[in-house]
Amino acid sequence: MDVTWTPRERDFRALAREWLTEHVPREPLPSGDTRDGFAAHLEWERTLFEHRWSVVSWPHAYGGRDASLWEWLIFEEEYYRIGAPQRVTQNGIFLLAPTLFEFGTRRQRDELLPRMASATDLWCQGWSEPGAGSDLAGIRARAERDEQAGGWLLNGQKTWTTRGAFCTHLFGLFRTDPAQERHRGLTYFLVPLDTPGVTVRGFDRLDGDEGFADVFFDNVFVPDEDRRGVPSVLGEVGKGWQVAMATTGSERGLTLRSPGRFLRTADRLVELARERQHEVSDGLVERITEGWMRAQAYQAFTLAQVTDIVEGRPPGARSSMNKVFWSELDIDLHETALDLLGPDGQLDGPWSRGFQFSLAGPIYAGTNEIQRNIIAERVLGLPRK
């Protein structure tokens, strides 16, 4: 693995830094998990798109810059370094889009990706259901074939749908063959949320923001193709599990949580310690140092993973190792900050809110218990019992 940057990559970093310095909002935006905050974030994301910074690694035809994965990592580092706003379009851009590139038809890619990049279509993820949270193979929402009408009737409920109350479209798994069990007989659907029969009901998180939603499907008809000729099924009917695994690979692996996020959090922790140097015990110094080193280690691991991808070795089940590492690192960095802040850590602020969010890390994108099972069985080759 060569960890030096080429002259082109250094130029790319300089260009990204210059643009972000000039355009990032001077004042922090309100939470993207509130209706007003979401609208403010969309305005920012559309500014990114206008200047081709919203999807740097995508082809130019879809609004990107044809940047390499290395350049994408550089952009992410610069984005977090300057403290740019949270990306509220992340479920579409970072989760669905890689799956579209891998499994989508040319029509799906040409029609859906530019609207996703420009924050015109806003996608949420329909995975979890009541009774099927961490166990994705246990979903019960179903899709029944209507051959005469040329489409599918969807029924069921999705829950814990991140920013579902503010989105326009949903991607998710539905059971199309009830005779099959677990991973078989599932199909991956793309559904506009304004389709008759869809009800979206937002609900509050622990911090009071309307960050989640229940989505109900009551005889929702989804045609084989919409009026633009875009298929409503991604991949093959009955093969949705394989498609979904590509999405979860993005969620647990490289794209959702790039190292730039944790490098910046670790640097902020060091800055906090310097501000409060007279309150930092030897024990806290050790924890801060360890947290900073783990963030660097995550970056090195990610660089190795990108090397593998570029050389044709996809991460597969090893993406579960990423997920366990970054989710636990996020909690540890924030816990250390709160311990450093003492009573001030109980006040509402970036560290306390970041800590609350970090607690969800071991749960979303598949619980860490499930990820450890995957690592044991599929990476280490250990027996199931």
Amino acid 132 reads A
Q: Which residues pair with 175 in a beta bridge?
A: 142, 186
Nearest to 81 by CA among 256, 261, 255, 330: 261
Dihedral of alpha carbons 336, 341, 342, 346, sign:
negative
Cα 76 from chain centroid? 14
Query: Known catalytic residue: 18?
Result: no
Cβ contact 171:125 at 8 Å? yes
Q: How many CB atoms lie within 10 A of CB 198?
A: 16
Burial 302-341 (b: 16+ CB within 10 A, else e): bbebbeeeeeeeebebbbbbbbbbbbebbbebbbbbeebb
Q: From the candidates 18, 251, 286, 328, which is the catalytic residue?
A: 251
- Cβ neighbours, 10 Å, residue 379: 14
Q: Are 337 and 349 in contact (CB under 8 A)?
A: no
114 contacts 59 by C-beta, under 8 angstroms = no
| CB within 8 Å of 155: residues ≥ 6 apart | 141, 142, 143, 144, 217, 218, 219, 220
Distance CA 62, CA 60 (A): 5
What residues are annotated to the active site? 251
